[in-house]
Amino acid sequence: MDASGLLELLEGMARLPTAPYHEGKVIEFAAAWCAERGIDAQSDGHGNVILRTPAAEDGERPALAFAAHMDHPGFEITDTSGPLVEAHWMGGVEPEWFPGAKVVVFGDPDVEGLCVRTELHPKRRRVETMFLDLEGEVRVGDFGSWNVMTWSLEGPMVHTRAADDLVGCSAVLAALGTLVENGEDVAAIGLLTRAEEVGFHGALAAMETGTLPAGTPVVALECSKALPAARQGAGPVVRVGDKKGVYDPGLCLFLRDVAESIADRYTDFTYQRALMDGGVCEATMFGLYGHPSTGLAFPLGNYHNRADDGRYIAEENIHIGDFFGGVTLMVEAARLWPTHGATALDALKSKLLATSKQGRTRLISGSDLPT
């Protein structure tokens, strides 16, 4: 896919409304987009979407899987009987960000308003209930999120409400779409999960019921908070771990080697490698169920819509070059996985042994312990 096609896909995805358990518009978009390109898209019974290139449909060939989640922090209307509408909040945002924040309830038409106050969970310092002053009628079960810009491309920066993780979903579609549009006989899998923001419920359900073939390696796509070692505009980040631990060393090494091979050929390709410990990624969930896993991150500004430069709600943002580079890396990784992926650690071992032979000859003369 060329740059214009990638941007069209990213904008189409980024404009969609989503929240935990309310990913329907994203599911519809992904299914329709894949159908137009001959990419098999199926539900796993939990609403997660499993995607396969034609070469992966029979399940006989080694395939690399790419995963991203379809939700973003948001709320669900629970009571409309009072002067203020009550809503249940879902997602990680501290209480001090809520009072006075602009919100929108998605519908036809959307209904705008303000968050007037909140109530906290009785045992955790997390918002459980929001009290909203809305400018129109809503129903119990409707859902919404922060009322911020849905899409803007300003120079190299994309500003959007739910970069985390609709950008990741876009990257999964783009990588599989590129392989298919190029007519490449490459087996690759995509997994789009639900309800990540409230406890990885979609990913855990997928693992419990075997949505992915046993042992399938997974690269989890995230928009993760930018850090000094993971800067916006310096390329996608090969993520070696998160707040809970580190990822599969072989898969991390493979992804780094692929990135290095691209950088050797194209001077405008850059990437980063970092432990991004601001939160926990789905890669950890996949690893717990026996899937070699690692992460690929797009450094994110205004994480979960909390403005980096002050206490107000704002659009999230990413650098478009990081997105383009990430898709390039994913496509090349899918191509090389069958021949290089599983042997990445063995190749490193062989290289180290070969370069150490001369040095090891000197160990023989000093092998005896002193008496």
> Tens of pLDDT along 298-343?
999 999 999 999 989 999 999 999 999 999 999 999 999 998 877 8
> Domain ranges in the chain?
3-72+150-345, 75-146
- Domain 75-146 fold is Elongation Factor Tu (Ef-tu); domain 3 (2.40.30)
Task: Give me the torsion for CA of 226, 227, 233, 235, rounded to 10°.
Answer: -100
**How high is the pLDDT of residue 168?**
98
**pTM for the complete prediction?**
0.94
**How high is the pLDDT of residue 367?**
63
- Give residues with Cβ within 8 angstroms of 9, minimum separation 6: 1, 33, 170, 173, 174, 177
Average pLDDT, the chain: 94
Tell me the H-state helices in 93-208: 163-181, 201-208
Which residue, chain included where needed, has tokens 């896993």?
293
Rounded CA-CA distance 273/276 in Å is 9
Which residue, chain included where needed, has tokens 């206490």?
311
Q: How far is CA 288 from CA 51, 54, 70, 152, 283, in A?
A: 22, 28, 21, 38, 9
pLDDT class of 2 with cuts at 50, 70, 90: very high
Q: How far is CA 330 from CA 105, 138, 317, 333, in A?
A: 35, 41, 21, 5
Average pLDDT of the residues in 63-72: 98
Q: Of 15, 29, 299, which is closest to residue 149 (Cα–Cα)? A: 15
Which residue, chain included where needed, has tokens 């070969």?
354
**How high is the pLDDT of residue 343?**
81
**How high is the pLDDT of residue 123?**
83
Rounded CA-CA distance 47/202 in Å is 8
pLDDT class of 124 with cuts at 50, 70, 90: confident
Q: Which SS3 state, helix, strand or coil, does residue 249 take? A: helix
Summarised one tens digit per residue, pLDDT across range 109-121 is 999 999 999 999 8
Rounded CA-CA distance 50/190 in Å is 6
pLDDT class of 279 with cuts at 50, 70, 90: confident
- Its CATH class, for the domain covering 3-72+150-345, is alpha beta
Q: Of 297, 289, 303, which is closest to residue 255 (Cα–Cα)? A: 297
Tell me the H-state helices in the chain: 3-14, 24-35, 163-181, 201-208, 249-265, 282-288, 320-336, 344-365
Summarised one tens digit per residue, pLDDT across range 173-192 is 999 999 999 999 999 999 99
pLDDT of 284 over the 80 cut: yes
Q: Retrieve residue 37's tokens.
A: 């390109």
